[in-house]
């Protein structure tokens, strides 16, 4: 077993223990009154057009008007372990779900279940410095959520990640999430991007993401939402709940890649399986809000948004007081896969 497998297993065990303690010992908590959420209905709350385009090689078979990134040019592919000759398939897999919440241990995407394991952690807050400047803090939860697998929509399709809905990471048990100095230990390169030139480059990323896809080489940028760094829950420029939550979804994805909790599966390197990618390629993901307002209506032809796209075009009416201040997103991950006979 590799080091990354041990880390993921330990984190999963810890979160499950905390969940068991919270449900069995603290069923009625002080957090319950401020914890809101809903379990996403796969039929009505998931935008299934986000699966597309479906491609063979670089040729779209079903697009449904959805944008795409590059695919391997050849329709034929070969894998050596185990030996496999097949066809190169491309699609967007609904693989992860992310909560962004003000209330610690509030499982927004699991129906608003509130846990209280007796651990003191920072609560979410918004602080206004003046009439124009605000910052905020949120906790984030990362779920493995391969919907197509646990719904058994496609049987014996080797390109889908197996498994069911599972809590993979809670920032409440991560001491780095609420501390900028500790975060710098794991991400020391953040110092390189804390300057006006690096921040100005994010304006170009914002424009690119709002008209198509963000710029992968600008990995420190989260498009119109701000900066990937620091990879913690502090949002130094809080414009609104949708903007802040979309930023933290991107940060959490980058953090999970850095810590080898999640892997990439796009491009020629992904044809034979998932592979580690410690610097996230943001063009491999798109998000869809499922709470508080499921984004199933198409905006500019799509109900999924590339990382970094301005929330002005799709975030209106998606946040409101009390029950609409916590968020849950379904993530679609780009997959290229070699399908054939062993």
* Total of domains in the chain: 1
Encode pLDDT of 123-180 as tens digits. Answer: 988 887 666 678 999 999 999 999 998 887 776 788 999 989 999 999 999 999 999 8
Domain extent for 138:
3-341
208-263 pLDDT, tens digit per residue, is 999 999 999 999 999 999 999 999 999 999 999 999 999 999 999 999 999 999 99
| Whole-number pLDDT of residue 57 | 96
Whole-angstrom distance, CA of residue 228 vs CA of residue 247:
8
**What are the tens digits of pLDDT across the range 42-91?**
999 999 999 999 999 999 999 999 999 999 999 999 999 889 999 999 99
8 A C-beta contact, residue 176 and residue 186? yes
For residue 165, give the nearest of 328, 306, 29 by alpha carbon: 328
pLDDT at 44: 93
pLDDT score recorded for residue 28: 39
Mean pLDDT of the chain: 88
Per-residue pLDDT band for 342 (boundaries 50, 70, 90) equals low
> Is the pLDDT at 3 greater than 50, yes or no?
no
Q: pLDDT tens digits, residue range 47-60? A: 999 999 999 999 99
């Amino acid at each position: 077993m590799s080091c990354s497998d041990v880390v993921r297993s330990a984190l999963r065990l810890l979160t499950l223990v905390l969940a068991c303690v919270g449900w069995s010992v603290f069923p009625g908590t002080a957090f319950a009154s401020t914890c809101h959420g809903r379990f996403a209905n796969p039929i009505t709350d998931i935008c299934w057009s986000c699966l597309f385009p479906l491609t063979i090689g670089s040729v779209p078979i079903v697009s449904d008007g959805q944008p795409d990134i590059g695919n391997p040019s050849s329709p034929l592919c070969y894998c050596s372990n185990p030996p496999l000759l097949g066809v190169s398939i491309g699609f967007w897999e609904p693989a992860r779900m992310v909560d962004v919440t003000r209330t610690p241990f509030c499982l927004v995407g699991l129906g608003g279940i509130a846990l209280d394991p007796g651990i003191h952690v920072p609560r979410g807050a918004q602080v206004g410095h003046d009439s124009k400047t605000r910052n905020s803090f949120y906790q984030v939860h990362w779920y493995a959520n391969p919907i197509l697998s646990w719904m058994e929509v496609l049987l014996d399709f080797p390109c889908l990640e197996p498994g069911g809905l599972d809590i993979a990471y809670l920032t409440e048990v991560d001491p780095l999430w609420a501390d900028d100095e500790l975060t710098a230990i794991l991400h020391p390169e953040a110092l390189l991007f804390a300057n006006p030139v690096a921040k100005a480059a994010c304006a170009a990323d914002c424009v690119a993401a709002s008209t198509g896809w963000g710029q992968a080489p600008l990995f420190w940028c989260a498009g119109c939402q701000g900066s990937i760094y620091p990879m913690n829950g502090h949002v130094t420029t809080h414009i609104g709940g949708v903007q802040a939550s979309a930023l933290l979804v991107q940060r959490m994805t980058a953090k999970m890649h850095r810590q080898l909790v999640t892997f990439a599966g796009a491009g020629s390197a992904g044809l034979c399986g998932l592979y580690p990618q410690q610097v996230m390629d943001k063009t491999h993901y798109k998000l869809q809000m499922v709470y508080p307002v499921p984004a199933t209506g198409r905006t500019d032809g799509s109900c999924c948004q590339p990382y970094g796209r301005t929330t002005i075009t799709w975030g209106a009416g998606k946040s409101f007081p009390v029950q609409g201040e916590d968020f849950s997103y379904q993530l679609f991950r780009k997959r290229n896969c070699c399908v054939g006979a062993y």
